[in-house]
Amino acid sequence: MPIIDGKKLADEIKAELKAEVLRLNKKIRLAVIKVGEDKVAEKFLEQKKKFGSAVGIDVRVYGLLIDISTNELRKKLAEIVHIKENTGIVVQLPLPKQINTQYILDGIVSEKDPDMLSSKSVGLFSSGRSKILPPVVGAIDHIFKAYGVSLTAKKVTVIGAGRLVGKPVAIWLINQGAAVTVIDEHIADPTLHTINADIVISGVGEPGLINTDMVRNGVVAIDCGTSVGSSDARSERALLGDIDPKVAEKASLFSPVPGGVGPLTIAMLFKNLVELAKK
């Protein structure tokens, strides 16, 4: 049973991007807007800084107070978008509860939206008119190509319908010819939809949500969920996934957390940024 080494795949992309940035011979900057503090978001932000430094891309973080209003944040975002040196803009999610998240994301023009989260970018992607993919979709696509996973006529269950994972992944899967079921918190018994699935993809952020009794032998299990909690294997706080690691024993292909989709998603974000820089 292959366990996906997302770091190795991401390092391969990193080497390619470093060479491409050198060939472009232009300054590329990723602007990250961070509101308040979030432990999971902080871990991903550090990884973004590290990846950017490795490929020669400047990562500029704009830290804002957690009590900022939607209108104040939108105004600040507009200022950051209009800075010519900012090649791409990312709003670190989740935002505080008082913020209208989609209204903020819609303030990023598609030409500077490597995360593909504005309504315009989502529309371009959904209709097949975008040259780049949402980073998590790009990561899963890269994994499936690397491991020879075909999607045609496959039964796929996507757990979660959020803007970062569930929605874009489901759209992409349908466009690839898969038979897709999306389940959320309103589904009483998720097992009814996971037990016969060829592929299970989860992006909820609930540790251990999917266990061995919920999947069949030979399943392709892709874990995109991240949360901070206590691991049985170690006493300190750790990044945990939605899928119990024991599922790997039944799977034909397993993507763990940490070390699976996460590093690749960051690599795909920077790949998108380089594509935007070319324009």
Q: What is the DSSP string of 65-122?
A: -TT--HHHHHHHHHHHHT-TT--EEEEPSPPPTTS-HHHHHTTS-GGG-TT--SHHHH
Give yes or no for residue 234 having a pLDDT over 60. no
* Domains of the chain in sequence order: 25-109 (3.40.50.10860), 135-262 (3.40.50.720)
170 in a known ligand binding site: no
- 236-258: pLDDT as tens digits: 567 899 999 999 999 999 999 99
- Token pair for 94: 């989740």
- 133-169: pLDDT as tens digits: 999 999 999 999 999 999 999 999 999 999 999 999 9
259 in a known ligand binding site: no
Q: Are 13 and 145 in contact (CB under 8 A)?
A: no
- 20-40: pLDDT as tens digits: 999 999 999 999 999 998 777
Q: Are 120 and 126 in contact (CB under 8 A)?
A: no
In sequence order, the β-bridge partners of residue 58 are: 29
Name the amino acid, one letter, at 107: G
Mean pLDDT of the chain: 93
Give yes or no for residue 229 having a pLDDT over 90. no
248 in a known ligand binding site: no
pLDDT at 249: 95
- 177-213: pLDDT as tens digits: 999 999 988 888 899 999 999 999 999 999 999 999 9
160 in a known ligand binding site: yes
